[in-house]
Amino acid sequence: MTEKIKKIFSTRQMVYLVAAFAAVYILWGSTYLAIRYAIETLPPLLMASARFLVSGAILFAIARFSRDYERPTAKHWRTSLIVGTLLLLGGNGGVVLAEKYVSSSVAALLVASEPFWVVLLSWLWLKNARPTLRMTLGLIVGFFGVALLIGGNLHSLSGDGSSTGILAMVLLLIATLSWAVGSLYGLKAPVPKSAILTAGMQMLAGGTVLGVVGTLRGEATTFDPSQVSSASLWGLAYLIVFGAIIGYTAYSWLLKNTKPEMVATYAYVNPMIAVLLGWFIAGESLTPTMLVGAAIVVGSVALITSKEKSDDPNIEEPVTETPPMVFAPQHECAQAASA
């Protein structure tokens, strides 16, 4: 009977693992396409604000009734404001603005370059160990891939759209830098013990900042609710339910039940999912140059984030993995953190 029970639990654990990885791979990889549909008729920053305020409130409520809940302190909220601003305004805000002018595929692939910044900043800013030869090679190759992506995308732009497209791609790179800074800052700053509570607080703080900036940009005055399409509403709902709540829950569960380096594989699976969905569902075009650039970027990310065994257990490797453009659950996710 005992062996039979163990077999049942083993099978159930495997089902949970497959479902959780599918959620992190597919749901997070599909958020770029969902953003594209959401901002077709919704103001970008206000859409992102609504997404994170609702998601943050739900996660905060879940954490409030969990066993490891602790009342947030003023320092916790200060960290949430700083990290939430860097991640959600600087990071996600940059993505939603850029996707008005570039495809979701290009956005996802350029955002995939974020581990490059994390490696450099963890060395130069946090004074971690110098990047290894493998990481350095990954950085050089990766930045070359980014250049190919930008160059390949220019062929699909013409006239005034060319300069706007270039600015949008530069904005995406700035967004990845902002995300990396926020993620690394959060690793050292005081946060609650609960990763779900931390994520909820960051979403609430970042969502508020997004709403303020969006209002200052005049998005509220030019917004006409009667013009909102069902596709945009479904896109927003998808981002809230699947991108944030289910995706993060699966990510948090995986960090507790499998190896961090396995969870970190989302960093190079998500872009491929985004490209396939953008091409298959939205009909986004990909030039041969962009495809080569995509392969180079994804390969370099795999090179950088893969764990390298060392004979010396005292050697500290740079932090290289960061969660996708949603939030940074630092405390519990230090090995894989971040999104």
Query: Which tens digits make up the pLDDT trace of 174-214?
Result: 999 998 898 888 888 998 988 889 999 999 999 999 999 99
The b-or-e profile of 253-277 (16+ CB within 10 A means b, else e) is bbbeeeeeeebbbbbbbbbbbbbeb
pLDDT of residue 157: 55
Predicted local confidence at residue 272, as pLDDT: 84
Angstrom CA distances, 213 to 22, 206, 240, 262, stand at 34, 11, 20, 37
Coarse DSSP helix, strand, coil percentages of the chain, rounded to the nearest 5 percent: 75, 0, 25
pLDDT of residue 287: 76
CA–CA distance, 181 with 176 (Å, rounded to integer) = 9
Q: Enter the pTM of the model.
A: 0.82
Cβ atoms within 10 A of the Cβ of 155, count?
A: 13
Using 50 as the pLDDT threshold, list the residues of the chain that sit under it.
1, 4-5, 8, 158-160, 310-313, 315-339
Rounded CA-CA distance 120/132 in Å is 11
pLDDT at position 2 is: 55
Tokens (6 digits) for 198: 């931390």
Enumerate the domain spans of the chain: 20-305
CB 97 within 8 A of CB 174: no
Separation of alpha carbons 186 and 121, rounded Å:
13
The number of C-alpha atoms within 13 Å of 125 and in the hemisphere containing its C-beta is 16
pLDDT one-digit tens code per residue, 56-113 = 999 999 999 888 789 999 999 999 999 999 999 999 999 999 999 988 988 988 888 8
